[in-house]
Amino acid sequence: MTDVIRDTIDRILTRVNAIGAGGPGFTRPSYSPLETEAHGVIEEEAGALGLGVTRDAGSNLFARLPGRDRSAPPLYIGSHLDTVPMGGAYDGVAGVAAAMALVAHFVERGETPPCDIVATVTRAEESVWFPVSYIGSRAALSRLTAEEMEARRADTGRTLADHMREEGGDPDRVLAGPGLPAATFLELHIEQGPLLDTAHEPFALIEGVRGGLRYRFAAIEGVWAHSGGAPRHLRSDAVFALADMISALDRDWAEMLEAGHDLAVTVGRVDAATDEHAFAKVPGRVGFCLDMRSIDPAVLDEMDRRLGRIVSRIEEARGVTFRLGPSSRSTPSALSKTLADRLEEAAGPLGFSPRRMVSGGGHDAAAFAAAGWTSGMVFIRNWDGSHNPDEGMDPADLADAVRCVAAAWADAQARPA
């Protein structure tokens, strides 16, 4: 017996991942010919299903399956096809494959959903290329700014407007609007974390997307000294000061979690490895990044206050100077509880009881939520991390999640009495 959901998922994963710059892993830059070529695969697949395909001014792609009530707000379901450099086989494309599998399911059964279902392929979700968040979805919503259109791509140095134009978009029309009217957006995406895999659960429903507070260009300045000659009480050791900071933040992090708050703290980059650093020198400088995330903006505010106190205490104790540099913030986004409830209700009879959790990473769903849409996400269990060539996912888990979405959008009026 063929399984159109699983077959569609497998075929689209294979076809899209055949497109990319040389390995290791998968590289499809935002607004690149490679991303456009991947969008072309979805256009073909939609054509084979007999769906009408449109592109908006941001060159996002929409494949529409008409519903019973054409005036009801549609269900937009999808994700993106760009990747980070040397990224994985699932971040983005899994959600697009799921959307196509959902519409294929309805088409194969000759079933009409209660509202239009629009398989949606956004552009430029990975902010590593342009320093702008959720570019494609915000283009669809006409929420990009003229300044953001001038952002330059990390590899080419050319502007977003230029690249968008080259890939069939129209920056002026994006800015002029209007964007899509509010409807429902649903995104299936790999978890990018080990929680579901560790708990042996195939998928989960997402309550919100964490906001972030980031110091990307922080440094500590101490005093260079000879490792044999400088006594402990006369040192201003930048690396020991950083260890103090990390230990203090780690204690606060544990305390916040114990108090029931949501928080993640990461020091992803530490640089005391320049030509100036040597094994026999007390380090006079260390550069680092600090990334704190929470679903609750008040928790980020509180951690920022604590960071300030920690920094003052260490500066005093160690005779060093912290240069935290500019901080950037992203606002946490609550996702739709109604949407999650609807999916949970459909999942039960299929034998699933997905947990609710929050997303640590940013996703297009956050952009739709910010624009007032009913927006939701389903996380698919994955392993070996994300944004790397080893990123793992079982397509069977994705197919199970799609079956729940299909059940949640089955037309009640079409069901046998």
In order of 68, 96, 109, 261, 390, the CA distances from 5 in angstroms are 22, 12, 11, 38, 24
- The partner residues of 76 in beta bridges, in order of sequence, read 118, 185
Whether residue 126 is annotated as binding a ligand: the answer is yes
Among 18, 48, 146, 273, binds its own copies (CB under 8 A): 273
Q: Is 250 a residue that touches its own copies (CB under 8 A)?
A: yes
Q: Is 133 a residue that touches its own copies (CB under 8 A)?
A: no
Return the ∠ at Cα 189 (arms to 168 and 117), rounded to 5°.
65
Whether residue 200 is annotated as binding a ligand: the answer is no
By beta-carbon proximity to its own copies, the closer residue of 96 and 282 is 282
Among 386, 393, 406, 409, binds its own copies (CB under 8 A): 386
Q: Is 282 a residue that touches its own copies (CB under 8 A)?
A: yes
Question: What whole-number distance in Å separates Cα of residue 296 and Cα of residue 2?
Answer: 45
- First and final CA of the chain: distance in angstroms? 26
Question: What whole-number distance in Å separates Cα of residue 171 and Cα of residue 150?
Answer: 10
By beta-carbon proximity to its own copies, the closer residue of 150 and 276 is 276
Q: Is 293 a residue that touches its own copies (CB under 8 A)?
A: yes
Nearest to 227 by CA among 277, 299, 289, 302: 277
Q: Is 168 a residue that touches its own copies (CB under 8 A)?
A: no
Q: Which two tokens stand for residue 210?
A: 């964490």
Q: How far is the CB of 82 from its own copies (least distance, A)?
A: 16
DSSP 327-361: EEEE--EEPPHHHHHHHHHHHGGGT--PPEEEESS
Query: What is the residue type of 353?
Result: S
Q: How far is the CB of 170 from its own copies (least distance, A)?
A: 31
By beta-carbon proximity to its own copies, the closer residue of 63 and 205 is 205
Q: Is 362 a residue that touches its own copies (CB under 8 A)?
A: yes
SS3 call for 366: helix
Q: Is 392 a residue that touches its own copies (CB under 8 A)?
A: no
By beta-carbon proximity to its own copies, the closer residue of 58 and 362 is 362
Length of the chain: 417
Instruction: List binders of its own copies among 170-199 (CB under 8 A).
Output: 191-195, 198
Give binding residues as ranges: 80, 91, 126, 189, 387
Give binding residues for Zn(2+) as ranges: 80, 91, 126, 189, 387
Q: Binding residues for its own copies, per CB under 8 A? A: 191-195, 198, 210, 212, 214, 216, 223-232, 234, 237, 239-240, 242-244, 246-247, 250, 253-254, 257, 264, 266-273, 277-283, 286-287, 289, 291, 293, 359-362, 385-388
